Amino acid sequence: MSLENVLNNWSKYRRGAEEGGHHDYEHKWAMMINLDLCIGCNACSTACYAENNLAVVGKDRFEKGQAMHWLRIERYWDQAEQEFPEQGASFLPMMCQQCNSATCEPVCPVAATYHTPDGLNAQVYNRCIGSRYCSNNCPFRVRYFNFYSYYESSWPEPLNMQLNPDLTVRDKGVMEKCTFCVQRIRVAKDKAKMENRKVGDEDFKPACVQSCPTSAMVFGDYLDEGSQVRKLWDKYQVKMGPAKQDKQEPDMRGYRVFEGLNTDPSVLYLERVREKV
Amino acid sequence: MAVKSFKKMKLNMTAYINIALVLLIGGLLVPAWLLAGDVKPPSGDHNGKEVPQPIEFPHNIHVKDNGINCMYCHTYARRSKVAGIPPTSKCMGCHKTIATDKPRIQKLTEYWEKKESPQWKKVHDVPDFVHFTHEKHLKKFVFDRDFPVENVKEVCAFCHGELENMTVAKKVKPLTMGWCRRCHEANGGPGDCWKCHK
Amino acid sequence: MTGTINRRSFIKMMGWGGVGTALGGCDVPTTVTLEEGKEDVVSYLMPEEYVIPGVGVWYASTCTQCAAACGTQGRVREGRVLKMEGNPNSSVNSGKLCVMGQAGLQGHYNPDRIKEPMIRKNGSLSLVGWDQALATINDKLNAADGARVAWFTGTISGHQKVLLNALLESNGSSKHYVHEVVGNKVLQAVSRDMLGDAMPKYRFDKAKMILSFGADFLGSWMSSPVHFAGEYAKFRTNKPRGLLVAIEPKMTLTGGNADLWIPARPGTEAAIALAIANELINAHNKDAAILPESVRNLIGQHSAESVAKQTAVAADRIKRLAQLLNERSPSLVLAGAPVEGQTNGYAATAAIMLLNHLLGNIGQTIESPGAFAFAQLEATTGGTADLIAFTQNAKDKNLDVAFFYGTNPVYSAPDALKFGDALKNIGMKVAISQFMDETTAQADVILPAASYLEDWGTHVAAYHSEQPAISMQQPLMEKLYETTRGFGDVLLALLQNKNKDKYGQYADYYAYLRHAFSAMPASYKENPASEEHSWNAVLQKGVIKVQTTDESLSTSIAEIDTPTIPASDSAYPLTLVPSVRLGLWDGRHANLPWLQEAPDQIAKVVWDSWAEIHPSTAKKLGIEQGSIIKVSSKHGEVTLKAVLLKGLHPDVVAIPMGQGHTEYGRFAKGLGVNPLKILAPEQEQKTGELAMYATNVKITDTGKKDTVVKIGSTDTQMGRKLVGTVPVEQVRRTEGA
Amino acid sequence: MSIVNEKDINEQIAWAKINADVLRSMANPRRAYWISVAMCLAMIACAVTAEVYQYTEGMGYANLNNPHMWDMYIATFVFWIGMSHSGTLLSAILHIIHADWRKPIYRFAEAMTTFSLMTAGFFPIIHLGRMWNMYWVLPYVSDRGHWPNFRSPLVWDAFAISTYLSASMLFLFVGMIPDLAICRDNAKGWQKKLYSVLSLGWTGTDRQWRNFRKTYMLMACFLIPLAVSVHSIVSSDFAMSIMPGWHVTTFPPYFVAGALYSGCAAIITLFVLLRYYFRFEEYMTKAIMEKTCKLTFAIAMVWTYLNLVEFASVWYGHDIYSKELLIAKAVGPYAWVFWSMIFCGSVLPFTLAFQSLRRNMPVMFVVSLFLNVGMFFERWMIVAPTLSMSHNPHQWDIMWGSIIEWAIVFGSFGWFGLLFLVFVKVFPSVSMYEVKEMVYHRRRHVVNDEAAEKFHRRASDSKTGTDEPGLEGA
């Protein structure tokens, strides 16, 4: 962003500040996760490891809390007081929520994390200087830092042949997080552009969505009225943008984690359903 | 006398401080303004060093003398992010018959018979966190503009220099980020970091 | 497009491969070379026209990470396979893939693969060429009496099975032992006797309620996790929404997703089932006439109240379940490992199965898969009975040559079986393996197998989904090590030695498959005119859909001998549950870092073994989270960390399988313990399967403590809404579920 | 005479003696000095070793993890920044309000400001994942044409601290010029050269004095808002976030108060040390100590009050996350830190309320140390618990500093000590000319004016070497 650019677009930045994140997107990638179908099987998480060159940190560093799982499945027992969890476990796939007014963006000293025109919360590895402020300011705690250089330890020959050349292998001192598989998005968009059409639902899926055995995850362009994900957001009467949700049917299942913090996440969760026997 | 004026100057410390501050601020902001206004297409050359290649491939002969299109050999350029080095089979396609007496061609034939391809050295290299794609650039500057494909070399030359006047390729443009950025700003290319850095 | 990438062009492509593997994000000046002439670029010699550098292409194949035979697609770029996904054409997994399938790549690129054949000469292994290795084997085979040659494999199907059978035949041997730790042989036996089909089709999508007695269909049941997860999704999204009740000793993934989870000590399930049957007959007047006299009496003895006393499952809860089953028809009642894994597992499973008869689910939610057109290709599923049989045979010195492929008995056999000693009686042990696992380490001849991403093959799922099919396996990239060979090629080589004139015509297994395909009826070919075209079409789709003839199940209920509840032993008060992790499975995936780092779905522990204990039991024994404890049975003991978990019956201690390898490469070796080792060698009376849930153990605290490496520091949400839960009534109102 | 009306300074001190005493303090270091220098160097060595290891192996060895992305380093950074404030307080604020009792002690306080800033500056750099790129936070002109994110408090930090550092160094230097002239006139050899350059040809003419006064006052006025802003900005590193326990409106004043507090405590410590080592009893008198203590006590009470304000606002607020965090602070794993912070910060200062204790140097020395320990705990309690127990309970985690972190923190004290030790031997740690002023003014009140007048004329006399010894340059 050259200085001129800043000055010319100042009003836009101001508006962004007022509305929380700028909202004039060309696409707005969004997700919907049906927690009633999520069985917590870890397929998405492992798919993420495979697609995004995530480092395997090993037992000791995992113990220190330095694991790099961009997508982790959180498991909770709902009935804490009971002797047996009779209604089973609650599973929550938690990854970067790609907030529209992300709290991580304003605090990065070098603007290594910022909002892309297609509504993604970007992390530019080669710009990152590792101040880790973004992670501190993330209420979901989904930003992971390369505390070590994992290249040798995590991909001993020939494991490194599996590394995905479409995205960078991060080295020590860099923050990273879920990107909604931006490399797939970019390829799909480029392909669509070469064919002079708009990118659609079927063009691509993030690794997690593609692997989910129960199809609990749905991904797409929120701005595309026809997209599956948009239909679902509308069905569950959750809107992106406004601080206050006004559901005609307040009992509808859709909700976003920490809605109250008004970070305007792009991931819609559907409450898990249980039948009392 | 000199000493005296020297002393005089020393006395006035506020002046010193003011000068210092002015220089400090000026030194930062003035060039900033100069640069901020600059959306001219990138200029500036880079004097790359001669890279020895297994076979001293004469671009000049192929491009200038024989007028072969760049994309005839670098055939992936319009289909992929990488332009690609022509496969040995393609070279042999012509050189089975053409100029077989030339030492270079004989060397090539040796490779071909050994069923190996030469270990070329990369000349135009960018860091691994930069994801440049030829495909899109060709689309914008050649196909969308209905630019005559036979003259595509003029477009290639923008980043790769005039290879028609070189034998083996030589890096003659800086290919730095600033260089790319200025071109993007001049031609309305994307300014989104995540276009090139992923 | 064909999946064959010839060696030359692959090697050349590696030049491009360098792009991805370089150190990226780091821009310490020393690691980023922008200088010209530093990196190599190697052009292709003769590129296939479909290979474009920088563009990934998806090829269809089949996953062999477990016996489910899911169809997969692999993303190949510059000759390297980079990512596995499900193949939408396969009705087994319909485009989805589980943890194990995702991690298959790491088995293929694993740094600990065996690269060259080895022969044991006076105790130590030495590298040899294939010719020598095969020669050694053939000499032995030619010398040996065919009846004393045995093959010991995992679940096997498709043309590999055909070749193997041919080989056995040519040896005049019938000794083919199929061993899987995770299997449902007892259930298969019961289904065969009571339904007339070992593997009937379970229609989750039709069922309004599922009552699962330890059937972890989301994890290990029928070893087809992805398929049943998909079925589960249909079951839940049905209107009205399906109701899932799980009765099991340790909360499995299925139990974790149940509407009601009821802990039950292993061995008590049958009693509960009979009590429910009792209720159904007496309270909900189900027709008992279909049952033989003895069975009716048996049911009569199990009133809800009496069973409640024996099993500590409240009587009104049993009544409620009966009522629900009566209301929600059709339903499904499933039996799983904890039921089968009893000395009277057959009876217990039968007692549960007859609920389906009572409820009239047969033909409704349990259907016949129909007869598969190519019987010779159908899967031979494995169990533990063969392990015991094989051990016995070896002990009796009945075996001169034994081949091991796709299974690791030395690891999975309980110490009490003395499998290791038995092996010593075998003249020559041949292991066809990718890794130096425990069994391979014992072998005299080691043949390095190609990974499933480098190999040809065909597979048929043991459990037939809606559309039974032959799933094609094709190489997604050139062999990493030229000196490895596919299983099919090895079989062919051995066959050619025996039967030159018949099998000599095939250059390799690929040629054999081509021939086999061309021999298939024209209806299976997209374009009968062009062999090549049809073949490519098949490879592109990845599956050959196979017609089946409709058949219906024959229901017959024979005698059921009383499923007695195992008496508890005061010296060994707890029952050991060797639980299956969807990931490490039976231990075969312990060398895949991704799966080691993927937390256990319920306990959320990584990289380790642990013993799950209910807090109340732990309190009694003075054990805390992370205490190092000794779990000892009459047949051995293991020392590991304690993890306090509510999802467990108080009389049970659960130790996940998969760890405790003494070999098997850098990622698996010396990590955790192997619960299978301390199992009692009890057998299921009818089927001879190992009774895996019938081992009593006791716990002693060593007084030491260690931190449990897991994700998630709290089990509760602290009243902050991360996961919301709503009653089904509300959803019925809003969404009409 | 009774203790009560003991004077700030004895107005009878001859100016020659002042020069002599101060210059003596700079001359021939004794063994104790060299030992302390050696110790400081050793401590620095520890830190350097630790840092080299961390730089090559990765930040992970500082026990950082998700959620603990910041830790000891930032706490220490805030601590040192805080330390730097009271120097400005004494030298600038008290200067413009003409509290002349500051005169004998402001010089080393001012030095302390500069040095603690120079120490603090290290920590944001050390804690960067890729410190070789740290200059990216500065708006330098780059070919890439992009800039730091001006919305980020960390960038404000970079500006604020560098400005404050340069300004306070300049202020320290400018304030020393007349004294440097005195040193010049009494030094020989290379020292003479050094001081001649540094004293910028000071001869003490009326014009010089006028310019000097103007400059000094101007800079004082410039420095005061700067000092306040710097710590407000540091506080906004936390206050600008949405994390419970950080997102607090009262943080800026709270931080400034805390800063002044720890600074004053540090001044007391150094006061006692200098007074003892350099025999400065006549200049650093008990009366001045009393005033310093009273000042410290007042600030301590302000700090305590602001603490209570914060607790109350959280307690009665609607932010459940902050409230749970506050409770966790008081009863959770960090409780012992929390309560010792309250004790050292709010209870211990009451010792300053008793005159007998105030005048007891050893006691004050110990107390002041504990006050600073308390303030270090305060910084830890600001940084750590929030990260441990923020919004998502799944990621809760308790963590203490690693050996690497402690080594570096430890070494930072060595670095500070070294700078200070060098300072006291190279520069006058008591402002001679201001003490002379002070003495002069006090004398005007007691002795008759002519006598004072006589001195005064001589004082502003530019020519040196008169019958009255010790007036050189003054």
- All residues of chain B having their beta carbon less than 8 Å from the beta carbon of residue A124 are 193-194, 197
**Shortest CA gap B12–chain D (Å):** 7
* Model pLDDT, residue B34: 58
pLDDT band, very low/low/confident/very high, at D29 (cuts 50, 70, 90): confident
Mutate which of C6, C9, C27, C46 to test chain B, going by most B C-beta atoms within 10 A? C46
More confident of the two residues A3 and C154: C154
A105-109, A208-212, C332-336, D23-27: segment of lowest average pLDDT? D23-27
Q: Find, among A69, D64, A212, the residue nearest to C599 by Cα.
A: A69
Run of H or E including B135: helix B134-138
With tokens 């992805």, the residue in question is C226
- DSSP secondary structure letters along B34-95: HHHT--SPP-----PPPPP-SS---HHIIIIIT---HHHHSGGGGTSSS--PPPHHHHHHHH
Chain B residues with CB-CB distance to C41 below 8 A: 85, 120-122
The tens digit of pLDDT for each residue in C175-207 reads 899 999 998 999 999 999 999 889 999 999 999
Confidence at residue D344, expressed as pLDDT on a 0 to 100 scale: 93
The domain segmentation of chain A, as residue ranges, is 2-270
* Residue D393 to residue C720, Cβ atoms within 8 A: yes
CATH fold for domain C185-367: Dimethylsulfoxide Reductase; domain 2 (3.40.228)
- Residue A227, chain C, CB below 8 Å: the answer is no
The reply to whether residue B33 touches residue A3, judged by beta carbons under 8 angstroms, is yes
- The structure tokens listed for C463 are 């459990």
Report the b/e string of A185-212 with b at 16+ CB within 10 A.
Answer: bbbbbbeeeeeeeebebebbbbbbbbbb
User: Is B35 inside any structural domain?
Assistant: no
As a whole number of angstroms, the distance between CA C428 and CA C178 comes to: 19
User: Is residue B137 domain-resident?
Assistant: yes
Query: Is 50 exceeded by the pLDDT of residue B11?
Result: no
d(CA A102, CA C671): 41
Contact B85 C41 (CB under 8 A): yes
Q: What is the pTM of this model?
A: 0.90
Q: For residues A23-33, give the mean pLDDT.
A: 86
Instruction: Give first-to-last CA distance, chain C, whole Å.
Output: 45
Residues of chain C contacting residue A91, judged by C-beta atoms under 8 Å apart? 256, 723
Contact criterion met (CB < 8 Å) for D67 and A135: yes
- Per CB-CB distance under 8 Å, the chain A contacts of C453 are none
pLDDT in tens, C262-306: 999 998 999 999 999 999 999 998 888 888 888 899 999 999 999
Quote the mean pLDDT of chain C. Answer: 88
User: What mean pLDDT is predicted for residues D205-222?
Assistant: 89
* Tens of pLDDT, residues D441-456: 887 777 666 665 565 5
Q: How far is D248 from chain C (nearest CA, A)?
A: 21
The residue-averaged pLDDT of C690-694 equals 93
**Cβ neighbours of C28 in D, within 8 Å:** 132
Domain assignment of residue D315, yes or no: no
On average, the pLDDT of chain D sits at 87
Select from C111, C714, C733 the Cβ nearest to the Cβ of A159.
Answer: C111
Beta-sheet strands, E only, within C505-565? 543-545, 548-549
Q: What is the mean pLDDT of residues A42-58?
A: 94
Centroid of chain to Cα C670: 23
CB C411 within 8 A of CB C674: yes
Quote the number of domains for chain D.
Answer: 1
Q: Provide the ipTM.
A: 0.89
When comparing pLDDT for D88 and D247, which is higher?
D247
Residue B23 within any structural domain of the chain: no
D123-156 pLDDT, tens per residue?
999 999 998 888 899 887 777 777 889 889 999 9
D313 found inside a domain: no
Which CATH number applies to C118-178+377-459+480-507?
Answer: 3.40.50.740
Establish whether the linkage from the previous residue to A206 is cis, with ω within 30° of 0. Answer: no
Q: pLDDT at position B14, please?
A: 67
Phi, psi of D146 (to 5 degrees): -130, 165
**Is the minimum CB–CB distance between B140 and chain A shorter than 8 Å?**
no
First-to-last alpha carbon distance for chain B, in angstroms, is: 66
**Residue B38: pLDDT above 70?**
no
Across the interface, whether the CB atoms of A274 and C726 are under 8 A apart is answered yes
Instruction: Collect all residues of chain C within an 8 Å Cβ-Cβ radius of residue D387.
Output: none
Amino acid at B107: K
- Confidence grade of residue C573 (pLDDT, cut at 50, 70, 90): very high
Q: Provide the β-strand partners of residue C431.
A: C404, C446
Examine the pLDDT at A243 and tell me if it is beyond 90: no
C721: contact with A, CB 8 A cutoff? yes
pLDDT of residue B48: 79
* Nearest Cα residue in chain C from D391: C720
B37 touches C at CB < 8 Å: no
Q: A 106-135 residues with CB below 8 A of D? A: 106-111, 114, 127-133, 135
Q: How many domains does chain B have?
A: 1
The b/e string for C612-626 (b: 16+ C-beta within 10 A; e otherwise) is bbbbebbeebebebb
A275 contacts on C by Cβ (under 8 Å): 241, 243, 259-260, 727-728
Contact across the interface for B13 and D174, Cβ inside 8 Å: yes
How buried is C333 (Cβ within 10 angstroms: 0-12 exposed, 13-18 middle, 19+ buried)? buried
Q: How confident is the model at residue A25 (pLDDT cuts 50, 70, 90)?
A: confident
CB-based contact A213 C253, cutoff 8 Å: no
Structure tokens at A276: 């009392």
pLDDT at C14 over 60: no
Residue C1 has pLDDT above 50, yes or no: no
**Contact D395/C713, CB-based, under 8 Å?**
yes
Domain C574-705: assigned CATH number? 2.40.40.20
Interface of A with D in 161-190 (CB under 8 A): 172-175
Interface of C with A in 597-636 (CB under 8 A): 597-599, 601-602, 604, 606-608, 616
In angstroms, the separation between the Cα of residue A146 and the nearest Cα of chain B is 16
| Average pLDDT of the residues of chain A | 88
Q: Whose CA is closest to A179, among A55, A266, A270? A: A266
Question: Is residue B102 one of the residues assigned to a domain?
Answer: no
| D397 touching A (Cβ < 8 Å) | yes
What's residue C22's pLDDT?
A: 36
DSSP string, C471-493: EEE--SS--SSTT-B-HHHHHHH
Chain D within 8 Å of C122 (Cβ-Cβ)? no
D124 assigned to some structural domain = yes
Residue B100 forms part of a structural domain: no
Query: Per-residue confidence at C10, pLDDT binned at 50, 70, 90?
Result: very low
Residues of D in contact with A261 (CB under 8 A): 242, 391
What was the pLDDT predicted at B7?
47
Neighbours of chain C (3+ CB pairs under 8 A): A, B, D
CATH class of the structural domain A2-270: alpha beta
Chain mean position to CA D118: 11
User: Is C722 near chain D, with CB under 8 Å?
Assistant: yes
Q: Find chain D residues with C-beta within 8 A of A78's C-beta.
A: none
Q: Which of D142, D208, D218 sits opposite B11 (nearest CB)?
A: D208
> Could B123 and C37 be called an inter-chain contact, meaning their C-beta atoms sit closer than 8 Å?
yes
Q: Which pLDDT score, from 0 to 100, does residue A5 have?
A: 63
Task: Please give, rounded to a whole number of angstroms, the shortest distance from the CA of B44 to a CA of chain A.
Answer: 19
Between these two residues, C512 and C8, which has the higher pLDDT value?
C512
pLDDT of D4 higher than 60? no
Question: Residue C147 above 90 pLDDT?
Answer: no
The continuous run of DSSP H or E covering A25 comes out as: none
pLDDT in tens, D155-164: 999 999 999 9
Please provide residue D377's backbone torsions phi and psi, each rounded to the nearest 5 degrees. -55, -40
**B144 Cβ under 8 Å from any chain A Cβ:** no
Contact (CB<8Å) C256/A91: yes
1-30 of A, contacting D, C-beta below 8 A: 1-3, 6
What is the domain extent for residue D109? 15-243+252-296+397-453
For the four alpha carbons of C283, C286, C287 and C291, in that order, the dihedral sign comes to negative
Please tell me the distance in Å from C98's CA to the nearest CA on chain A: 5
Tell me which of A3, A14, A138 to substitute to probe the interface with D (most D C-beta atoms closer than 10 Å).
Answer: A138
Q: Does D63 reach chain A within 8 Å, measured CB to CB?
A: yes
Residue B11 inside a domain? The answer is no
pLDDT tens digit string along C207-259? 999 999 999 999 999 889 999 999 999 999 998 899 999 999 999 999 999 99
